[in-house]
Amino acid sequence: MVPGIKLPVAPAAAIFLSALIVLSCFTKQLAPYLSYVDYTSAFNFSPNFTSAFNFSPNFTSPFNLSPAWTTLSSPKCNIFRGDWVWDPDLPQYTNATCSYIYGNQNCLLFGRPDLDYLKWRWQPDECDLPRFDPYKFLQVVTNKTLAFVGDSLTRNHYQSLLCLLSKAEKPKDIVGNQYELNKVIYYESYNFTIHIFWTPFLVRVEKDTDTKQNRLYLDEPDDKWLSKVHLFDYVLISGANWFSTPAYLYERGQLVGSMYIPLNFTSNLNNYYHHRMAFRTSLRALNDVNFRGKVIMRTLSPFSHWEGGEWDSGGDCKRTRPYGRNETAPVKEMEREFYKGQLEEFRVAEKVAKARGAEMVLMDMTPAMRLRPDGHPSQYGHWPHEKRGKDCVHWCLPGPIDAWNDMLLYMLSN
């Protein structure tokens, strides 16, 4: 059963103030699902029903991962190979019990009619992955500091963590309010601090004064997060989706190429180079500053779940169940190349970290999340009358992304 779900009662019940980040590529705009929406008012909706929900699985067969996706095993157990199995006891929270869910990921609030997507738990092949225990997590991180470094998927991950921890303790906002891009929160009873850094490219970024497009300095890590790493015990770093947007590319202070922007010279850089270099620079920087904490590099969250078109041409993600054992999840070339680059850059950086006695580990959740096209907000991240696009990139809360924190707790505990 799903206790205490808050459902919509009327569109007028919520007022949205949004700031849309717009990038132009000739006549195109940045995909709306990448834009940061600032919801400055909380939702206060009361359930208008008292009946509980009963769920029945549509099918019972487990799912195998495609052999095309390779992962790196941990010494104890490869928790990234497995199946999504039906679990009637999920979810562990709802939008009625957690106040940290952004509106555009609050699928229950906006009336998503199918609820089976809430009932699938990630089960590794080689071992058991325990369900997230908020008290155990807080015991593990007592007197520690964790930094989330990345884009809106990183924030999606962090909000899932806050919801799962809400049963144990409500944190204090130390820097920034709930909806700010960069913030610090504190769990007083456990002396545990979380830093959140909005840095979708991981490296230094400037706006071009003429075109207003981003300039990416691929060999310079973003000092916003790197300058503070001495404060952290854990750094969880990730990023991918923003690398598909227009940008000028710089190395050693010189323009060397671009992404979707015409130049007056020929560049031999492909559309995947800048993503690889951003990870190379960031991971190398953590080694160069001799970071002694634990680095967790999370692989990309799939962006190939659009069907029937792209974000700007009628695409959607309407599936209501995970992909099955005999089904092949589509993978776009850019997603495949970004993922390959992340794995290769991690392997190089991990060797350096190991040589200096430090720990760098891989959270390879991409294969598992490939199988969950049913977990995105689609049209249920806003009211029907709002003229906003469908979202097949972020994840509903609660939803499949909660498994990332099952994995995180396992990795911090071992």
User: What is the C-alpha separation between 274 and 281, in angstroms, rounded?
Assistant: 10
The question of whether 152 is a catalytic residue gets the answer yes
The question of whether 394 is a catalytic residue gets the answer yes
All residues at 6 or more sequence positions from 218 whose CB lies less than 8 Å from its CB, including other chains: 203, 249, 250, 251, 274, 277, 278, 281
pLDDT value for 180 = 85
User: What is the C-alpha separation between 244 and 338, in angstroms, rounded?
Assistant: 10
Residues 143-192: tens digit of each pLDDT: 999 999 999 999 999 999 999 999 999 999 998 777 788 999 999 999 99
List of domains in the chain: 73-88+125-371+400-413 (3.40.50)
The structure tokens 């031999």 sit at 268
User: What is the C-alpha separation between 177 and 182, in angstroms, rounded?
Assistant: 9
pLDDT value for 4 = 59
Give the 3-state secondary structure of the chain.
CCCCCCCCCCHHHCCCCCCCCCCEECCEECCHHHCCCCCCCCCCCCCCCCCCCCCCCCCCCCCCCCCCCCCCCCCCCCCCCEEEEECCCCCCCCCCCCCCCCHHHCCCCCCCCCCHHHHEEEEECCCCCCCCCHHHHHHHCCCCEEEEEECHHHHHHHHHHHHHHCCCCCCEEEECCCCCCCEEEEEHHHCEEEEEEECCCCEEEEECCCCCCEEEEEEEECHHHHCCHHHCCEEEECCCHHHHCCEEEEECCEEEEEECCCCCCCCCCCCCHHHHHHHHHHHHHHHHCCCCCEEEEECCCCCCCCECCCCCCCCECCCCCCCCCCCCCCCCHHHHHHHHHHHHHHHHHHHHHHHCCCEEEEECCHHHHHCCHHHCCECCCCCCCCCCCCECCCCCCCCCCHHHHHHHHHHHHC
pLDDT value for 5 = 62
Q: How many CB atoms lie within 10 A of CB 347?
A: 11
pLDDT value for 21 = 34
Q: How far is CA 8 from CA 49, 81, 139, 184, in A?
A: 11, 37, 36, 31
pLDDT value for 56 = 35
pLDDT value for 7 = 56
pTM of the model: 0.84
Q: Name residues of the chain where pLDDT drops below 70.
A: 1-75, 325
Of the residues 35, 83, 151, 152, only one is catalytic, namely 152
pLDDT value for 339 = 98
Name the phi and psi angles at 157, rounded to 5: -65, -50
Tokens, residue 185: 């929160």
pLDDT value for 54 = 35
All residues at 6 or more sequence positions from 44 whose CB lies less than 8 Å from its CB, including other chains: none
Gyration radius from the chain CA atoms: 21
pLDDT value for 2 = 54
Asked if 15 and 375 count as a contact pair (C-beta separation under 8 A), the reply is: no
Of the residues 244, 394, 402, 406, only one is catalytic, namely 394
Of the residues 219, 391, 402, 406, only one is catalytic, namely 391
User: What is the C-alpha separation between 225 and 221, in angstroms, rounded?
Assistant: 8
Asked if 255 and 248 count as a contact pair (C-beta separation under 8 A), the reply is: yes
pLDDT value for 8 = 54
